[in-house]
Structures are given as C-alpha cells and as structure tokens.
Amino acid sequence: MSGSGPKQRLKDLDAQLAFTLERQAIDAVVDVGANAGQYAARLRAAGWRGPILSIEPIPELRDALSLRAGADPAWEVAPAIAMGAVAGEVALDVSAESDMSSTLAQSPLLRDVSPTSAVLRRIVVPQRRLDGLDLVVARPWRRLFVKVDVQGAEPAVLAGLDGLWPRVAGLQLELALLPLYDGEAPWLEPVADLAARGFAPYLLFPGYFSRALGRQVQLDVVFYRA
C-alpha cells in the first residue's frame, strides 16, 4: 500500500510529536545528544517552528550540526560539551557508528550484536549540568521539552536537571530494553522515576532493532506532565 512503509510511519510519528509540542505550548526544545542534527531536522520537517537548542559533544559532529543549523535563526547550537550530573570533564568513547558513542563502556552484548559500533577512540570533553547552562537557564523559556539520546547516560543528564524541573513540561528519552552499555538502567526505572515526578508516557518511537537477536533493544518514549 502506498505510504505505509517504515519511512512514512516515522513521518507520522514525527508529526504526532510536533502536534504534542504545540498542544503542550512548549517554548523550546533542548536536543541533548544531537549528533549531526537529524532529530532537529525531522522536527522542522514535521512543522515545528519553535526554538531548538542542540547539544553535541563530539567536535566534528558539532561542526556538521552547526553548518546544518546555520540557515535557521531559531535553531541554536551549543559548544561541543556533554551534559551530565556534575560539571567538569568526562571521557567519551567515540563509536564507528557515531550515534552509538557514549560516556559508558559498551556491554559485551552490544559488541556481539553490532560489531560495526566498535569504539574508534576515546576523547575527553567538557561536561556541564543542564541547570547550570546559561544557554538554557538565562532564556525566558518556561515550558521546556528536553530530548535526551546519550546511549545509556540518560539518568546522569536527568540528574543535572534539578534546578530546571519546574520549567520542564516534557521529555523524550531513549530507553534500553536490553543493556547495551555497562551500568545502563533498565527501561522501567526511568519510567517509574518520571512517574514519581508527575510525567506520563504520551508517545512511543521504535528504536534499534537487532536482527541478530530478532528483537527491538531500544525505544524512545515521549513524556509530558500528566
């Protein structure tokens, strides 16, 4: 059937996300783990025209991201920094599959099922807390949507939100159905933690599907305050 393939379904989900951003009166999207800007570009294609702040720690990806955002006055790119629970520096394993890079070590499972995600090098990058980042804190935004895709380090990013929680109206997190990184939290733990803060799941996006395992191992969940 025409228009029923995976790309069309992804466009439909992007359109649903853009609709919820408008319905929830979101002031700005903070895109943590922006890679080369794919997420923000999909939001724009789906019709979201509000401010976007993209944050990516790998310098060459951040440069590509900045070029991509250059013609869009409402799309801002932070310096090459990581987000976490403490300010300072953090070691980052850069994967051959750039979107699999992480501050956490790869698990044996990931190395087995995705050899193309092998670590190429380790770099040290500046790390900040989101509630200490002037690019967010100093802005007039009062209803933030925070997207976090940092390959297992999502809880650390959320721990750096303490001073911002009153301004966070929604989140999108990549969650693990199986542990791809050492110390990665099972998917139900962040769901329960956010439920305790008054957030409920609104949308589910399919994530990484492993043909080797014959199952999905990651998914994205969109949350808003219930």
What distance lies between CA 83 and its chain's CA centroid? 11
Helical (H) or strand (E) element with 195: helix 188-196
Q: Is residue 95 part of a domain?
A: no
Q: Among residues 136, 194, 113, which one has the least CA distance to residue 185?
A: 194
Residue 89: pLDDT over 80:
yes
Domain containing 18: what range? Answer: 6-85+129-225
Q: pLDDT value at position 7? A: 65
Task: Report DSSP letters for 58-114, one per residue.
Answer: SHHHHHHHHHHHTT-TTEEE--S-EE-SSSEEEEEEEESSGGG-BSSPBPHHHHHH-
User: Taking the model in full, what pTM does it have?
Assistant: 0.93
Averaged confidence pLDDT in the chain: 93
Asked whether residue 36 is assigned to any structural domain, the reply reads yes
Q: How confident is the model at residue 88 (pLDDT cuts 50, 70, 90)?
A: very high
Residue 58, domain member (yes or no)? yes
Instruction: Tally the domains of the chain.
Output: 1
pLDDT at res. 60: 96
The length of the chain in residues reads: 226
> Which CATH number goes with the domain that contains 162?
3.40.50.150
> Which tokens belong to 136?
């967010």
5 has pLDDT over 80: no
Say what the pLDDT of residue 8 is: 66
* Interval 106-118 mean pLDDT: 91
Cα separation, 67 vs 62, in Å, equals 9
The verdict on residue 114 lying in a domain is no
Could you tell me if residue 99 is inside a domain? no
Inside any domain, residue 120: no
Q: Is 208 exposed, middle or buried (0-12, 13-18, 19+ CB in 10 A)?
A: buried
What does the pLDDT look like over 11-45, one tens digit per residue?
A: 789 999 999 999 999 999 999 999 999 999 999 99
Residue 116 lies in a domain: no
Q: Is 85's pLDDT higher than 70?
A: yes
Q: Evaluate whether residue 200 is within a structural domain.
A: yes
Between residues 10 and 85, which one has the greater pLDDT?
85
